[in-house]
Chain A
């Protein structure tokens, strides 16, 4: 099983700041990696697939990068609606696996 490690666990940020979230996999997943956003009481929302492909209607401030075992989700200027938990997921190998999540909270 591929182990996903997200860092940091929690990020305290002020609106307007640039945010960089990290996801590391225990073995290469090529670019078969997705990022999800989840707000309290809501289902997850796909942000990025194939490591860097933005979902339909996703604001341009979100971007994904990386390949192999190191991946990054960047939010160029954090908006109030972006405070949430972010998960990465690999779908290159069975079983698919999620990271433990990074909570982005208001500073």
Chain B
């Protein structure tokens, strides 16, 4: 069965940085677009970023463009999200998802607070 496992979440101060990872297994990672989606506490889903199979095309929501960087390592079947200049409004659970969301990880919680 397809597996996506996020890691790297935690508590960080405003202005700080975090790097999220998503380890993929049991499918051919290099042939899929990959996506990060987040969910603030008690709120709805919010698309964050998507990367194509080779990593050459990257797309971001406006509020994270320039602060977040999506990347991947196909040799390691891993997806990443480098998050800089974090703000309180970035708080939430971050999910990695395959393609348009046919498979999801369990999520990792980011809390941005003094």
Contacts and interface: CB of A to CB of B under 8 A. Distances in A.
Contacts of A44: 37, 45, 95, 101, 104
Interface in B57-107: 59-62, 95, 100-107
Interface residues of A, number: 22
B45 A43 contact: no
15 contacts: A1-B62, A34-B100, A34-B101, A43-B105, A43-B106, A43-B107, A55-B102, A89-B45, A89-B100, A94-B59, A95-B59, A95-B61, A96-B35, A98-B47, A101-B45
A100 interface: yes
Interface of A: 1, 34, 36, 38, 43-46, 49, 55, 85, 87, 89, 91, 94-101
A43 B95 contact: yes
Q: Helix, strand, loop or mixed for chain B's interface?
A: strand
Nearest to A45: B104
A45 B102 CA distance: 7
Nearest to A55: B102
Nearest to B63: A95
Given A36-B45, A95-B47, A89 B62 contact: no
